[in-house]
Amino acid sequence: MSSDRIVGIDLGTTNSLVAFMQGSDPVVIPGDDGLNLVPSVVALDEHDQIIVGNSARKYLIDTPERSVYSVKRLMGRGLEDIQEELKLFPFHLADDLHPGEVLRIKLGQKTFSPPEISAFILRQLKRNAERFFNAQVTKAVITVPAYFNDAQRQATKDAGRIAGLEVLRLVNEPTAASLAYGLDKKQNGIVAVYDLGGGTFDVSILKLHDGIFEVISTNGDTHLGGDDIDNILIHIALDDIRGDMGMDVSRNGEAVARIRKAVIETKIALSSQATAHLDVELPEGRRYQREITQEHFEKLIQPIIDRTVGPCKQALKDAGLKPEQIDEVVLVGGSTRIPRVRALVEDMFKRTPHTGLNPDEVVALGAAVQANILAGGSEATENMLLLDVTPLSLGIEVAGGVTDKIILRNSTIPASATQHYTTQVDGQVNVAIHVLQGERELAKDCRSLARFDLRGVPPMTAGIPRIEVKFLIDANGILHVSAREQRSGKQAEIEVQPSYGLTDEQVESMILDSFDYAEEDFRQRQVIEARNEADTILAALEKGRQSPAWGQLTSPEKKQIAKLENALVQVRGEDDYAAIRKAIDTLNQATTRLAELMMDSAVSTALTGKTMDEADMGEGPTAPHPVAKAEFK
């Protein structure tokens, strides 16, 4: 198999998937558990090994302080952006975080940035694909929500790099879903994509012209999805158990987890059958059972699914369209399997939605289609560019702390624009460029994306230098900014490192840290433990030599011990824990008689004693350095 195969990845809030193009059809690659969906859950087990996916789920209940889910909510965000998430989700952040710093999440004693956590999920998907192809996989297309800003996109790209994947393209999830249905072949039309997942709801309106997609509006609710449906059912069950059985299990984590599992099964069953049976084993040998009809279920969830109506209307309004103007409707997200949800969508957009593909796989399938296009695998779509729009305006801070917009929101990307500026002070040699994102007039009200300096401008009278600032948003939605003083030709440029983003150095060191993180960590600890054990036995041997028992050994015995001691000292300095252990064992055997002779001394215990030490895992990120204020006119 070709080793430069490009896979498509849906890095979801609840579930993640990897897919590839098999002939003319995209297919999802299952994990070794045979399942297509990898839950986006990461945990650290009792040996400090990273566990991902289905097998990590039990840690959410057993050791919540060593596990994390929904990390997508934290990607590319700062402490002040996520206060709401912290109220709603059990994220354990590192204690020593400062505003403006990259977030770090605690798993046991270790901390990881959100891109590192996402990288563990990506690594699992990469491994699944490699097992499937029996070949290395190093290139991927990854999907992101259409509303993801620059920092969130950068963080996703960083996650890919940390996982050892070259991210060839970030594709908007609704665009990917439309591609999976081959809607690009229709050339022109308006597509509405309704995505109700586990914890988020997104609606996007896409315009298709000449086979090119353009996201013309997006809306949604970042706290609405299948989880809310689960919670309603859990509350009903808890009420029943309290009322009918006189038990309060609402604070029993394990019981609630069992109820959650059971109600999700019931919910899923009710998407395809008229009634379902809920059956949960409770503490003290008790058991909760009840029938739920589809009719009752639909009544219960109506308020939840009604909350998707407002965002849909707003998205249509922003796009300047009426429901009748929608040509195609695409359903995305596991929760759109619910018949009542489908009916509501049909009612809203006056179109029968596409349902041929699994709604929780369709985004990954579309990513695989895009990957195939980039690989040049499809002639029909070879020249196809996928257009997106930038959701927020981009600009720089100018004199007086004012925002000067360079690329306006809703511009189609790739996009580029240039503006000219000059200096404010006579003889000014350095110009600070502060890159901003947002619609507000004052720089302080916009999101600060990056700062850099244009240095070494020859001293001139204020107003004479001619500084050209160029913004380019590439096909991934990532911003490149350059500044050039045209008289002197002095130039500075950056690929924007958004605030709360990671520096290249940080990403590099995370790549190194995470390189087969789990295996490496485990191996290192083995080496350290083996060395400690070697030290213990060597010290004990030294004591033995000083003891009267030494004199009772024969000369060949003493020679043999000395030889094995040297061998142990030799391998102790190397990184092969198995070799160290082997040398310890042989030396142990050779010193058994010595130990017996010394039985009444404490040394015999030391000879077989063990010590444990934790491996030290790298250093933390370095602090960013400050820059001067903008002085433009």
Contacts (CB under 5 A) with Mg ion, residues 193-232: 197
The yes-or-no answer on residue 575 being catalytic is: no
Q: Which stretch binds ligand ADP (CB under 6 A): 193-201, 491-499, 542-550, 584-592?
A: 193-201
Q: 141 with 169: CB under 8 angstroms?
A: yes
The yes-or-no answer on residue 350 being catalytic is: no
Q: 27 with 20: CB under 8 angstroms?
A: yes
The reply to whether 145 sits near ligand ADP by the rule CB under 6 A is no
Give the shortest CB-198-to-Mg ion separation in angstroms: 8
Q: 163 with 514: CB under 8 angstroms?
A: yes
Q: Which stretch binds ligand ADP (CB under 6 A): 7-15, 121-129, 242-250, 281-289?
A: 7-15
Residue in 116, 150, 158, 173 annotated catalytic: 173
- Residue found by looking up tokens 């995505």 in the block: 195
- Pick the closest to residue 123 from 199, 14, 16 (CA basis): 16
- Pick the closest to residue 176 from 409, 373, 322 (CA basis): 373
Around Cβ 502, how many Cβ atoms within 10 Å? 25
Contacts (CB under 5 A) with Mg ion, residues 169-198: 197
- Residue found by looking up tokens 């491994």 in the block: 127
The reply to whether 12 sits near Mg ion by the rule CB under 5 A is yes
Residue in 48, 101, 116, 195 annotated catalytic: 195
Q: Kindly tell me which of 312 and 595 has the beta carbon lying closer to Mg ion.
A: 312
Give the shortest CB-471-to-ligand ADP separation in angstroms: 31
- Burial class of residue 2, CB neighbours in 10 A (0-12, 13-18, 19+): exposed
Contacts (CB under 6 A) with ligand ADP, residues 261-300: 264, 267-268, 271
Give the shortest CB-44-to-ligand ADP separation in angstroms: 22
**If you write DSSP's letter for every residue of 235-297 in order, what string do you get?**
HHHHHHHHHHH----TT-HHHHHHHHHHHHHHHHHHTTSSEEEEEEE-GGG-EEEEEEEHHHH
Tokens of 606: 């030391």
Can you say how many angstroms the Cα of residue 529 is from the centroid of all Cα atoms in its chain? 32
The yes-or-no answer on residue 195 being catalytic is: yes
The reply to whether 482 sits near ligand ADP by the rule CB under 6 A is no
Q: Kindly tell me which of 220 and 334 has the beta carbon lying closer to ligand ADP.
A: 334
Number of residues that bind ligand ADP (CB under 6 A): 21
- Burial class of residue 615, CB neighbours in 10 A (0-12, 13-18, 19+): middle
Q: 466 with 485: CB under 8 angstroms?
A: yes
Q: Kindly tell me which of 15 and 437 has the beta carbon lying closer to ligand ADP.
A: 15
The reply to whether 337 sits near ligand ADP by the rule CB under 6 A is yes
The reply to whether 15 sits near ligand ADP by the rule CB under 6 A is yes
Determine the Cα–Cα distance for residues 482 and 472; give it in Å rounded to an integer.
Answer: 9
3-state secondary structure of 102: coil
Number of residues that bind Mg ion (CB under 5 A): 2
Tokens of 180: 């999976």
Residue in 10, 184, 361, 388 annotated catalytic: 10
Give the shortest CB-173-to-ligand ADP separation in angstroms: 8
Contacts (CB under 6 A) with ligand ADP, residues 349-378: 360
The yes-or-no answer on residue 535 being catalytic is: no
Among 53, 115, 197, 220, binds ligand ADP (CB under 6 A): 197
Give the shortest CB-314-to-ligand ADP separation in angstroms: 21
Q: Which residues bind ligand ADP (CB under 6 A)?
A: 12-15, 197-200, 225-227, 264, 267-268, 271, 333-335, 337-338, 360
Q: Which residues bind Mg ion (CB under 5 A)?
A: 12, 197
Task: List, by residue number, the catalytic residues.
Answer: 10, 72, 173, 195
